[in-house]
């Protein structure tokens, strides 16, 4: 999908489909044992796939819609939950979409995912320092104590597992995602 042209109706339908799949995957929630208020979900996998297939802007659009639905329609902690999810997932989506579109190789895909995970983990440490005291009504010193044993491992685990799954399934789905019509399927 070229960001300089209008999206085709087939591409818009596929973005909507990836958004819907991501929203369904939000229902799979696995608490993170050191901090059960943090939960792993595989909802970022379709977002990462979208970024690979259609680029960073499309990935960010799907991220925005999914985060909005989760935060405001599924009890996902309102504006703070929206910001945290949008920033964490959006950083990975933009990073992988930007890096991968330059050179679409398996090695570059792996590199893009690793860089995306690392950037998101670092930025989420900062975001937690800024927003968690507001959300949980605690002190920043309590958040600082959580950085190494909870925040870093959680973000590496969540983004890492979703990146690994994306890496394993993207090429299998890319043919479908890049088809413009049913005629191309023949």
DSSP string computed for 63-123? HHHHHHHHHHHS---HHHHHHHHHHHHHHHHHHHHHHHHH---HHHHHHHHHHHHHHHHHH
> Residue 180: which pLDDT band, with cuts at 50, 70 and 90?
low
Q: pTM, whole model, 2 decimals? A: 0.90
Kindly list the distances between the CA atom of residue 60 and the CA atoms of 26, 110, 144, 157, 182, in Å, as whole numbers in the listed order: 17, 19, 29, 21, 27
**Averaged confidence pLDDT in the chain:** 91
Give the closest residue to 180 by CA, choosing from 10, 28, 4.
10
Instruction: Note every long-range contact of 135-144, with CB atoms under 8 Å and residues 24 or more positions apart, other chains counting.
Output: 135/77, 135/80, 135/81
What is the pLDDT averaged over residues 29-34?
95
The pLDDT, as a whole number, for residue 176 is: 87
The pLDDT, as a whole number, for residue 179 is: 77
* Cβ–Cβ under 8 Å, residues 178 and 58: no
The pLDDT, as a whole number, for residue 6 is: 59
Q: Give the separation between CA 92 and CA 26, rounded to whole angstroms.
A: 17
- The residue that leads in pLDDT, 140 or 10, is 140
Q: Give the separation between CA 55 and CA 49, rounded to whole angstroms.
A: 9
Domains and CATH numbers, the chain: 9-28+42-179 (1.10.1760.20)
pLDDT over 70, % of the chain: 92
pLDDT (tens digit, 9 = 90+) per residue, 81-130? 899 999 999 999 999 999 999 999 999 999 999 999 999 999 999 999 99
Give the closest residue to 62 by CA, choosing from 17, 110, 24.
17
Residue 163 pLDDT > 90: yes
Residue 156, C-beta contacts closer than 8 angstroms, at least 6 positions apart: 117, 121
Token code pair at residue 59: 């990935």
């Amino acid at each position: 999908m070229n960001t300089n042209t209008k999206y085709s109706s087939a591409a818009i339908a596929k973005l909507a489909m990836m958004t819907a799949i991501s929203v369904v995957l939000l229902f799979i929630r696995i608490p993170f044992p050191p901090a059960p208020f943090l939960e792993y979900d595989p909802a970022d996998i379709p977002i990462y796939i979208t970024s690979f297939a259609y680029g960073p802007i499309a990935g960010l659009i799907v991220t925005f819609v999914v985060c909005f639905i989760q935060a405001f329609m599924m009890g996902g902690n309102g504006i703070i939950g929206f910001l945290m999810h949008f920033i964490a997932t959006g950083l990975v989506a933009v990073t992988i979409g930007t890096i991968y579109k330059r050179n679409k190789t398996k090695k570059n895909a792996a590199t893009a995912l690793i860089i995306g995970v690392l950037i998101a983990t670092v930025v989420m440490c900062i975001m937690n320092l800024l927003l968690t005291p507001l959300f949980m009504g605690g002190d920043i010193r309590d958040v600082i104590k959580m950085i190494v044993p909870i925040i870093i491992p959680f973000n590496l685990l969540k983004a890492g597992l979703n990146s690994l799954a994306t890496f394993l399934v993207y090429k299998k789905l890319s043919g479908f995602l890049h088809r413009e019509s049913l005629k191309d399927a023949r």
